[in-house]
Structure formats: structure tokens, C-alpha cells
Structure 1
């Protein structure tokens, strides 16, 4: 069974979605479950995890509504202000929704490279533990030193790094990224998503081999039991079709045992997010 552990939905709003620039015309429109379901079926994907793209509780509620109406959406990673003084009240509210599995903050967009280490943010992460919610780590490589400290601090909390922390596939520069990733992976509570790769490469001229050295590091560091496939649809459409994106990961894991392939392509997502 294949589970796409990372994709998005939105009703395009030019003000709210200002990050979708003029050059991104292909995704400057609505992307809803009716658009994704046939794509998943065509690729034998049984279900997906919908991840927040906007930092608002309205986004969380929107994704939950979609998940409740579409059984192939197996879980939601939403947003809540983890720095808020009333965070426990908000988590108490959201704990009534079984399809809500965890939360994410767009840390890659924060100017403070040590944002994850803020005291108020840490209190929010601690509160997530009490309510059994996961946390998705979205960062750039220059923020990985803070991630190393962060995962050490929350060594019992289920954490997952999105998009391999967005290394530089275009130049193939491994060194600094690899050192941090290996250090972070020593913490057995941390997983990693094989996702978001094609849009961090040369979007018009990427080749499958561009990703192999980075995937090798991730496999060696995390092992097949802590990696998950994610498409990052529809953002991936800027550089590739869904079939190409899933093909990169399928081809890479094809040398592994059938059981290991199943873990990476779906089993680990089911376990990490406690999907039904």
C-alpha cells in the first residue's frame, strides 16, 4: 500500500498565497481533492496526508473539512500558533478531530535561524506531546544546526524533517548538509520525508541522478524504517508530473527488500501519523 505522506490543497488567493509568484503560473489556481484523487488512483496510491500551506487555523479547519469529506485523505498536518499563551486550549479544541495528526510551522520563512530554539515555541512543542500530535520540521540547510539542538531537546517527540531539509540538488553540495543530517538522524524519534526534491533542483533540467547522493545519505542515516515518500503535489508540478516524482523514489528503493520498500512507500507514514 502506497501512502503519499506530503501534499497540499488550496483555493488560490493572490493575497494570502503571495508566495506563488508570477513565474509559478502552473500552480496559480485551485487544487482540491477532485484534482488529486484521479492522480493517486493512476499511480496506485491508496491515500495521502494533507499538509498546511498557510499559517492560520482557518487552513487547519479547511483541511479537516476536506479530509472528513474525502476518505482517501488519511490525515492532516495543520497549523496552530505554537507560541500562543493559550496553546493548550487550542490543542484541547483540536484534539477532538481524529484526522488531525500533527502540526507544522513554516520555519524556513523565519528570519531567525534559531527560531526553533525560542522558549515560547518550545513550550508549544512540549504541549503537542501531551496531546499526542506530531511535528513536521520545515527548514533550509542553514537552519540545521538549530534543528540538531531542537531534536536533542525533544528526543521523545515524534518529529519528521520535510523535503530532506531542502539540500542544494542543483550544485550537488553534500558536505555541510550531510554532517547535520547524520547527526539529527541519531535521534530515533526523527523521521525524514523523501519529498520536495524536484523544486529544489534545476527545475527545467533535473535528472534522477541529481538526487541519488542525497537519497543515499538519508537511507544510510535514517534507515528504511524512518523514511517516507511524499510528492509535495501540487508544488511539484512546477518541475515534474506526479508520475515522475513517485518514480524517483520508487526507482531508488527498488534495490531494497519488498518489506523495506513498503515501509518507505507507505508503512512508515501509517506508523508515524497513526493513520487508519
Structure 2
């Protein structure tokens, strides 16, 4: 498969409510996604190509603070040829974090663990990422060659900047572009802090989750473009990666509408730049391997 055919969705979720509750789905407004979603459902949903590319590989990301969920995602990655990497969860504050990570990476499925994430957006401590126990845990992540997905809201960007300053050796990716307040159209502070974060060479950024930060029913490409322009100028295309945030994106139009929007935003970019955003950056960050190394067929 040539580079021009590869499309990586660097951020999606799956969950089975019969197997594991997702308490966050009980929040008002989540009714449309308050059901189970599988990787098969993603195949059925992700129909539209982007710049002529159809979905070939994905990165599945944790939803709850649960090591058993991470084990389930690793097993899914081993069995499903669409999934190339897992972003899992482990308790960064635990003195046993190294042992937990080593245990998760053991066995044949463990090779799919490529990064760790914590739901920092739900932490009230404005210095959570600077806690000594958290920094110790993050060092353990980096020592094992794993990356760290930074899930924060826009007001928490200073924590991410300090993290990048203090741990320059730890590969970081900013999930959902730090959740710019698109619905309020107040991007000045977010843009300033994103540019500061982007000055750190080890940081990448996911172009994902933007539509659910805009007005769910009314957003247009023009509402998303100001954030895109900041990200493109701050990180450059070779440090940006496409992600759908499926099925959360269903709340604001779904996978295919977001795919069409990304294609429009990429208009004017060169072929190599498009490849970076749609495949290259995610492939490098998550150490994705070509799909033919796994048995089975990909969606088309």
C-alpha cells in the first residue's frame, strides 16, 4: 500500500456498556452515544475518504481509568487488523507504575501499547501534571519508550507547557488541540498558549474533537478554520495528526462530516503536508506498522 492510500484515524474509542459502564455518558447531552460502540461499527461509519484516502489504520484510546479496560483494548488490537495502536491507562501516581506498565506490555498483545493517557481535564488540581508522584509516573512511561496523550481543557494548557519544559525527553501529543473554546469564539488565550506549547519539539497535536467544542447543531467549516489556522502555523503539518474522536463526534455531525471538513481545511496544502496530517505524524508517533503484518482485511 502506497503512502497516498494510507489514512490513520489517530483517536477513536470503543466501549461495551454490557461489559463495562461508562459513567461519563450519564452526563446530559450524551444521550445519542449512550450505547455500545465497536470497531465494526467504526468500519461502517467511516465511509467517506479524505483526499482520496480511505481508513486503513486507527489508534484506539482509553475512556475510563481502568487497567482492565486497557487490557481489553490490547486484546482488541491484537485481533482487529484495523487497530494499529492502543493509548491505555495506568495510575501514574502509583509507586508500582513501572511494574504495571511492564505487565501491560507483556505478552503478544502488549506490543500494541504505544502511549498512556490520564483524564487530566477532570482533575481539579491546577498543578496535577506537576505533582512529584505524577512526574515520577510519567518518567516511567518515557523510560519504556511510550508516549503520553495530554487530555486537558484550554484553561489547563499552562500545565502542559510546564510538562513539556520539565520532561523534554517524553513524547507528548495534545489531544483535541487542547479543546479550544470554539462555541464561545474566545480563542486568544488558547492560541497564545498553544503556540507556547508548540515551541517544544517533542510535542505533537491531534486535529480532533474540535466539532464538539463548537456549537453541535450549527457549526460550519468557518467556525473550525480559526483554530486550524493557529494549529497549522504553530505546529506545522508534520506535527499534526488527524483524529475523529469517534463516536463522541456523533454528537456534532459524525465521522464523515468531520472527514469532509478536514479535507476542506487541507485545501492548499501540498501532497507531503497532507500525508503528514492524515498518516505520517501518527505513524511516527505511535510506531504504527503496515497493516499487512496483521491477519485479516481492512475496511475499504
| TM bin (shorter chain) | over 0.9
Separation (CA, whole Å) in 1 of partners of 2:28 and 2:225:
31
Take 2:66 and 2:18, find their aligned partners in 1: how far apart are those partners? 14
Give the length in aligned residue pairs.
Answer: 276
**Partner SS state of residue 29, structure 1:** coil
Contact 2:15 2:36 in 1 (8 A): yes
Equivalence for 1:26:
32
Distance 1:128 1:15 in 2: 26
Q: 2:213 aligns with which of 175, 186, 200?
A: 200
Match of 1:238 among 246, 251, 254: 251
5, 8, 14: which one aligns with 1:3: 8
Q: CA deviation at 1:15?
A: 8.4
In structure 1, stretches of 5+ residues that fail to align are none
Residue equivalent to 2:21: 16
Tell me, what secondary structure is at the counterpart of 1:6?
Answer: strand
CA deviation after TM superposition for structure 1 residue 40, in Å: 3.4
SS of equivalent residue, structure 1 residue 75: strand
Give the structure 2 partner of residue 67 of structure 1: 77
Q: Alignment partner of 1:59: what SS?
A: helix
Which residue does 1:53 correspond to in 2? 63
CA distance in 1, matches of 2:275, 2:9: 12
Q: 1:145 Cα deviation (Å)? A: 1.1
In 1: Cα distance, 2:236 partner to 2:258 partner:
21
Distance in 2 separating the partners of 1:76 and 1:102: 7
TM-score, normalised by the number of residues in structure 1 = 0.97
CA positional deviation for 1:13: 5.8
Instruction: Compute the displacement of 1:254 (Å).
Output: 2.0
Aligned to 1:228: 241
For the residues of structure 1 that align with 2:44 and 2:157, how far apart are their CA atoms? Answer: 36
The SS at the match of 1:92 is: helix
Q: By how many angstroms is 1:94 displaced?
A: 2.1
Instruction: Give 1:100's aligned residue.
Output: 113
2:179 is equivalent to residue 166 of structure 1:
yes
Quick one: distance in 2 between partners of 1:84 and 1:22?
32
1:37 maps to which residue? Answer: 43
Q: What SS does the corresponding residue of 2:180 show, helix, strand or coil?
A: coil
Deviations 1:93-126 (A, max 9, x none): 1233111111000000001121111110000010
Equivalent residue, structure 1, for 2:295 = none
Mark the runs of 5 or more structure 2 residues left unpaired by the alignment: 1-5, 290-300
- Counterpart of 2:282? 269
Runs of 4+ in 1 over 4 A off after TM superposition: none
Measured on the aligned residues, the alpha-carbon RMSD in Å equals 1.4
Q: In the aligned structure 1, how far is the partner of 2:233 from the partner of 2:18?
A: 41
CA contact (8 A) 1:108 1:138 kept: yes
Q: Is the 8 A contact 2:48 2:259 kept in 1?
A: no
2:222 aligns to what? Answer: 209
Task: After superposition, give the CA deviation of every residue in 1:2-44 in whole Å (9 maximum; x if it has no partner).
Answer: 1000000001269832211353221111101111123335531
Q: Distance in 1 between matches of 2:22 and 2:242?
A: 25
